[in-house]
Structure 1
Amino acid sequence: ENLDDIGARITQLMDLKVPDGFLGKLSLLPRLLEVSKFPPRVKGGSPSCQDVVWQGDEIDLDKIPVLHCWPEDGGPYITMTAVISKDPVRGIRNVGMYRVQQLGKKHVAMHWQRHKTGAEHMRQMAERGEKMPVCIVVGSDPASMFSASAPLPPNIDEFLFAGFLRRDPVKLTKAVTNDLEVPADAEFVIEGYIDPAEALIVEGPFGDHTGFYSEADLYPRVHVTAVTMRRNPVYSTTIVGRPPMEDFYLGHATERIFLPLLKLTTPEVVDYHMPAEGGFHNLVFVSIDKKYPGHADKVMHALWGQGLMSLAKVLVVVDKEINVRNPVEAWWVALNNMDPQRDVRFTMGPVDVLDHASRAFTYGSKMGIDATRKWPEEGFTRAWPKVIEMDGATKQAVDAKWKSLGL
């Protein structure tokens, strides 16, 4: 199953309009039954993720091969994580992929940025005056690890989505020292808590996926209460740096799989692509089915108002027939179609924490480029040129010639 096929499955699930008539309603049952198979299931007994349990003086993170990835990193980093936390009011679980810096045998620093759900859970726990339980999963099934990095809509359980991806529910088990549930087949689980009343600690620097070091900053300390693992665990990790590296392919999977969700709110979007050079959030190519003057502007503002797409620094909008997955073609069209004074838009908004060029931390300027064909209503009165293309008859004649020459 390729990534676009997974996107098509999501499209089918979203298109659950109730049809008229009894037989029409029956036709929905297969899709509804498919969804019902995927919620995670809690497993009893002795899960493999707890074959070995360290507690108290046994806890020693130095025994886990945590990598010091780049020369100027602030310390060893656990980079391939699924960090589990829970909304204290609604009880809704969140699973996020955050980097974790080892601070010694029994402590780590949790790097969750201010707009992440885990950080919001910590703010809620601080308001309640309570300590916050967390579990850091290292090494689980690929679908669960990917889902931790995915920009899912609010209130969608990442383990439910993982079950959907792998067509099999994720099996969970209760942690040893808190009430959170973790994947029963995980290689390692680091259990602990954050005390929101404690002062934040220095985390970083870190050689990040932009290709630059992100600066040291203040983040919460996790007190480790247990480390559990399989009997012969495999430590999984990833090294990020100047793109493209391993994390680019996680981002590419997200791009393909979540196109249907983007179309749900902006149906005029045909396709989009975040090239490696942009580090996900610096450059996005978008093709649209243009229907009216100013349509490209409407799409720019719609995308800047959605989730993590709100952090995009440069948006380039082209017509529907352009292959945005080919950056060479997209730039060729954009640079030829746009007039800088007329077609470039500037605005302000939130930017990624890792954007070292913005005028302020997490706040800066954005640029939108309307590279669509211009309409008379948009002030363009000249004839729009045709793209050079070979006619079909000539192509067939050349193909026939190759065959006659035995080539």
Structure 2
Amino acid sequence: MVFQDLREFISYLEQTNQLVRISTAVDRDLEITEIADRIMKGPADRNKAILFENVEGFPIPVAINLFGSESRMAAGLNVNTLDDLNHKLTHLIDLKVPKGLRSVLARGADILTALKSVGLKPKMVRSAPCQEVVITKNPSLDILPVLKCWPKDAGRFITLMQVITRDPVTKIRNVGMYRLQVLGPDRLAMHWQEHKGGAEHERKAQEEGITQIPAAVVLGGDPASMWAASAPMPPDLDEYLLAGWLRGKPVEFVNCVSQPLEVPANAEIVIEGYVDLTEYADEGPFGDHTGYYTPKGSFPVFRVTAITHRENSIYPATVVGIPPMEDVYMGKATERLFLPLIKLFLPEVVDYHMPPAGVFHNLVLVKIKKKYPGHARKVMFAIWGMGLLMLSKAIVVLDDWVDVHNLYEVAWQTLGNVDWERDILVVHGAVDQLDHASSKQSYGAKIGIDATAKTNEDGYSASWPEVVQMSPEIKSLVDKKWKDLGL
């Protein structure tokens, strides 16, 4: 089902018993977080999206946990299950094993061509729901129910947004999900981490002597566009092109009223402005998706020049913290969608999994069709060279029969198959900017573990033992008797 905007998605969730409305008065400071956290970590049958209709001091309702289950995340991306994303992209690019580097690069270019060729480029409209109300004189963030999520947060943060900027040189659009701390009625701190597209725009602007980067903070819109802001796309691929492909119809855009940018026409709220590279402010602490507070840091200031919104708008938000939380399923969608791209460059990869407890970048489990000694190490180095997977703190490589989504099986194989002197690789390189354990910011040690079965070619002198398994004949016999056993 293709959703035109956030309210259509909310209506669908309500019709399918996946949303609860709360009319009891709640405080935007801490209280919404505590309620949402209990729902996210509670029983699956009670894990629903929440619409807080009575936020104290505000006429605007707050929607949260919209993507907090596989079924809701899948519906938002127009698929039945998240694994369908893998099949859908595989079909689009007609994945084949490339021969040689030139062929690999050509296939990578094919992805961009394929996405552009489906006729789903964003299109412009003259009037838009997101501009039913236009505020250009003294626009104030005070009209929005921005949340304070955790007790030691430095303030209130916008948490579920699409930040739109354009490359200062190439003018190619980038859409990112960067939290913003409210510093005042018309000022926000733009927390784009140094490995993200927005930070690259900042660096380029500084090199060109540019002091202002036009930007727009978009709240709401269709769910595919909302999610696409979090997707680690290549720098020359518009995230809204991906959203259009997922939806099966293009994202509609309207010109901003105060900045030379275009924004999704069906958004709920748009905060227009510019990132001022002459002013930096302290941002944080913030209770982050790592489950720890991210410490205070210096980030550029976003200055508000206009706020536009729908009549009776809805404020979307998310809460991050100790997993599992809503972002688990947003990350799972990314994991499934990008499997074909990993296979494009590493055809030996069968599947991979980034467990929620690893908060995306701390642990990557990979299963491969092993063909030669050192194959697992080749895969480790390749993954550390792929986009934001370079931040992976631990990579475990397993044989192709291991279910990487079964953590019990993974632990059994890893702990039983590893000689800790022979099968461990420790390297130094880029780590996530939020990693608090590394000795230097954004730089530290990473580990690779070869948990595959070993042969003589791997330097293993003995005979690798066989896994204990029942014979197929007995399994079939018991299958036939099972109903009669009364078990």
Q: TM-score, normalised by structure 2?
A: 0.78
Give the one of 76, 80, 89 matched to 1:10: 89
Q: Measure the CA separation in 1 of the matches of 2:465 and 2:318.
A: 47
Give the one of 333, 339, 345 matched to 2:425: 345
- Quote how far apart the aligned CAs of 1:195 are: 2.1
Instruction: State the match for 1:246 in structure 2.
Output: 326
Q: Does 1:38 align with 2:120?
A: yes
- Quote how far apart the aligned CAs of 1:402 are: 2.5
Give the one of 102, 112, 115 matched to 2:182: 102
Question: How many residue pairs were aligned?
Answer: 392
Query: 2:232 corresponds to which letter in structure 1?
Result: P
Q: Does 1:166 align with 2:247?
A: yes
SS at match of 2:229: helix
Query: 1:36 corresponds to which letter in structure 2?
Result: V
Query: 2:317 corresponds to which letter in structure 1?
Result: T
Q: Does 1:47 align with 2:128?
A: yes
Q: Measure the CA separation in 2 of the matches of 1:333 and 1:175.
A: 54
Instruction: State the match for 1:374 in structure 2.
Output: 454
Q: Percent identity?
A: 54
Q: Does 1:185 align with 2:270?
A: no
Instruction: State the match for 1:23 in structure 2.
Output: none
Query: 2:217 corresponds to which letter in structure 1?
Result: I
Q: Measure the CA separation in 2 of the matches of 1:317 and 1:123.
A: 36
Give the one of 200, 206, 226 matched to 1:120: 200
- Equivalent residues in 2 for 1:202-351 (5 A)? 202-351=282-431
Q: Measure the CA separation in 2 of the matches of 1:107 and 1:136.
A: 12
Q: Does 1:176 align with 2:262?
A: no
Mark the CA change 1:243 to 1:385 in structure 2 (over 3 Å): closer, same or farther.
same
SS at match of 2:168: coil
SS at match of 2:476: helix
- Quote how far apart the aligned CAs of 1:88 are: 1.9
Mark the CA change 1:14 to 1:242 in structure 2 (over 3 Å): closer, same or farther.
same
Instruction: State the match for 1:56 in structure 2.
Output: 137
Q: Does 1:403 align with 2:466?
A: no
Instruction: State the match for 2:237 in structure 1.
Output: 156
Does the CA-based 8 Å contact 1:287-1:324 persist in structure 2? yes
SS at match of 1:101: strand
Q: Measure the CA separation in 2 of the matches of 1:179 and 1:107.
A: 19
- Quote how far apart the aligned CAs of 1:56 are: 2.1
Does the CA-based 8 Å contact 2:85-2:333 persist in structure 1? no
**Residue range with higher mean Cα deviation, 122-131 or 105-114:** 122-131
Q: Which runs of 5+ in 1 are unaligned?
A: 18-27
- Quote how far apart the aligned CAs of 1:405 are: 4.7
Runs of 4+ with deviation above 4 angstroms: 31-34
The C-alpha deviation readout for 1:86-128, integer Å capped at 9, x for no partner, is 0122110000011011111111110001121111112222233
**Residue range with higher mean Cα deviation, 287-296 or 120-129:** 120-129
SS at match of 1:355: coil
Q: Measure the CA separation in 2 of the matches of 1:276 and 1:33.
A: 29
Q: Measure the CA separation in 2 of the matches of 1:16 and 1:393.
A: 37
SS at match of 1:340: coil
Instruction: State the match for 2:213 in structure 1.
Output: 132
Does the CA-based 8 Å contact 2:118-2:245 persist in structure 1? no
- Quote how far apart the aligned CAs of 1:375 are: 1.8
- Quote how far apart the aligned CAs of 1:143 are: 0.4
Does the CA-based 8 Å contact 2:95-2:344 persist in structure 1? no
Q: TM-score, normalised by structure 1?
A: 0.93
Query: 1:79 corresponds to which letter in structure 2?
Result: T
SS at match of 1:37: coil
- Quote how far apart the aligned CAs of 1:33 are: 9.8
Q: Measure the CA separation in 1 of the matches of 2:422 and 2:209.
A: 53
CA RMSD of aligned residues (A): 1.7
- Quote how far apart the aligned CAs of 1:145 are: 1.1
Q: Measure the CA separation in 1 of the matches of 2:318 and 2:433.
A: 20
SS at match of 2:395: strand
Q: Which runs of 5+ in 2 are unaligned?
A: 1-78, 97-109
Q: Measure the CA separation in 2 of the matches of 1:202 and 1:364.
A: 24
